[in-house]
Amino acid sequence: MGEQNNPPVHSAALEPLYSEFSVSSLKLRNRFVMAPMTRESSPRGIPTHDNVEYYRKRAAGGVGMIITEGTLVRAPAAGSSASMPHMYGKDSAVGWRSVVEAVHGEDAAIVSQLMHMGVMRGGEPEFEPDVPTVGPSGIGVDGEPLGRALTRADMDAIKDAYVESAKLASDLGFDGVEIHGGHGMVLDTFIWEQTNRREDEYGGTLRNRVRFPMEAVSAVREALGPGFPIIYRFSQWKVGQYDAAVASTPAELEQILCPLADAGVDMFHLSTRRHWLPAFPSENSADQHMGLSGWAKKITGLPAIMVGSVAVDHPFVGDDPADDQDRDEKLRLVVEKFERDEFDLLALGRPLLADPEWVNKTRTGKTDQIVHFKK
């Protein structure tokens, strides 16, 4: 996966990202974040010593904060793989406590991403294969029938599951939680009109479609109190539907994000595949250039995490003319966006898979020693 060299990263240009950052009770030594990346390497949902070392190495490598891979909440049809980690149960709790202690031992913060996959679980899951897949309307992200529609009782159980996992994360010493509301996961499919055909108060208008995610956030906030950080991950794209747009205009984005902010979100994590692309290219205003994180900050006034093919040669899926830009040019665009106050934290995924020391090597000028991700 790794091959050395290629054009060097300009360390001095990134120096502003090594400044400290805080929101709510979360205090970070720098602006670099390890993005959540599903690995399916926790047998029976229990983190192992290998998982502990995986996270510890990235913390030791210099990131300010780690967001874990998606951890399943205790709800029927939450996940697709028996090796996805759980955020419930005594054995999983023991494993995660070791992870938290190891990351804190390297002076980094760690946040647990809480996940219910909904229709992204598919029709033939390995985990709980006898349990039907669920979603708002029994429709997959491709628009085809999949599983069954959630009942109100199901929805209450899912909210309770998020609360249970959030409270466990707090008890284990995590520095916050991230609620996964993107990529076609269950909360995301409530907001997207293509997957939500409900005729009750959770379907129809955008205001109704955001109601269940808002209730889930509110329930977690009520359980955790005002001081525990809650991050919400949002995306336009869905797995396999990369041109999807939940919000087609900034006004629609406002109708989604502001209710979530009012429900208790402290920070948004805006998942894009290319950080340099404008979120609303047809927007006729001075903000036409802004990416999704910039719009989220402008609309809500809350801090934002930017992510999307940072410091890699090959962006995630598909082609775009700017894909030919080298890593240095893409990092210069990152700096420009930071200077324009379009984001507060920068999430790295694949660079940290290839080289856990990416942040330290970049800061100390040892860019010739970076092991770069290769597709």
Give pLDDT, residue 318: 53
Average the pLDDT over 225-241 and give the result. Answer: 95
Say how far apart CA 183 and CA 189 lie, in whole Å: 9
The pLDDT value recorded for residue 5 is 45
Average pLDDT over residues 5-29: 82
Q: How far apart are CA 318 and CA 280, in angstroms?
A: 19
What ranges do the domains of the chain cover?
2-373
pLDDT at 166 over 50: yes
182-206 pLDDT, tens digit per residue, is 999 999 999 999 999 999 999 999 9
**Distance of alpha carbon 114 from alpha carbon 94, whole angstroms:** 17
Distance of CA 238 to the CA centre of its chain: 13
Q: Contact 9/331 with Cβ under 8 angstroms?
A: yes
The C-alpha R_g of the chain, in whole angstroms, comes to 20
CA distance 140 to 195: 6
Give this prediction's pTM.
0.94
Give per-residue pLDDT as tens, 45-81. 999 999 999 999 999 999 999 999 999 999 989 999 9
- pLDDT score, position 4: 45
Tokens of 125: 């899951």
Between CA 14 and CA 198 the distance in angstroms is 46
Residue 317, Ramachandran bin (φ over 0: left; ψ between -120 and 50: alpha; else beta) = left
pLDDT: which is higher, 93 or 5 = 93
pLDDT higher than threshold 60 for residue 139: yes
Say what the pLDDT of residue 6 is: 44
pLDDT, tens digit (0-9, with 9 covering 90-100), for 267-296: 999 999 999 899 998 888 888 899 999 999
pLDDT at 1 over 50: no
Q: Give yes or no for residue 346 having a pLDDT over 50.
A: yes
User: What pLDDT does residue 282 have?
Assistant: 84
Tens of pLDDT along 238-266?
998 999 999 999 999 999 999 999 999 99
More confident residue, 318 or 216: 216
C-alpha–C-alpha distance, residues 82 and 46, integer Å? 10
Mean pLDDT of the chain: 93
pLDDT at 332: 85
Answer left, alpha or beta for residue 303, where phi above 0 means left and psi between -120 and 50 means alpha.
beta
Question: 65 and 175 in contact (C-beta within 8 Å)?
Answer: yes
Is residue 314 over pLDDT 80? no
Given a cut of 50, whether residue 2 has pLDDT beyond it is: no
Count the residues in the chain: 375
> Among residues 202, 210, 194, which one has the least CA distance to residue 265?
210
Mean pLDDT, residues 352-359: 96
**Distance in angstroms (rounded) separating the CA atoms of residues 17 and 338:** 8
pLDDT, mean of residues 101-114:
98
| pLDDT on residue 323 | 53
What are 296's two structure tokens? 């989220």
- Cα–Cα dist 249/243, whole Å: 14
Instruction: Determine which helix (DSSP H) or strand (DSSP E) holds 32, and give its type and residue range.
Output: strand 32-34
Average pLDDT, stretch 80-93?
97
Q: Would you say 17 and 220 are in contact if contact means Cβ atoms under 8 Å apart? A: no
Alpha carbons 317 and 309: distance in angstroms, whole number? 10
360/349 Cα distance (integer angstroms): 15
2-373 CATH, one of 3.60.20.10, 3.20.20.70, 3.30.70.1050, 2.40.340.10: 3.20.20.70
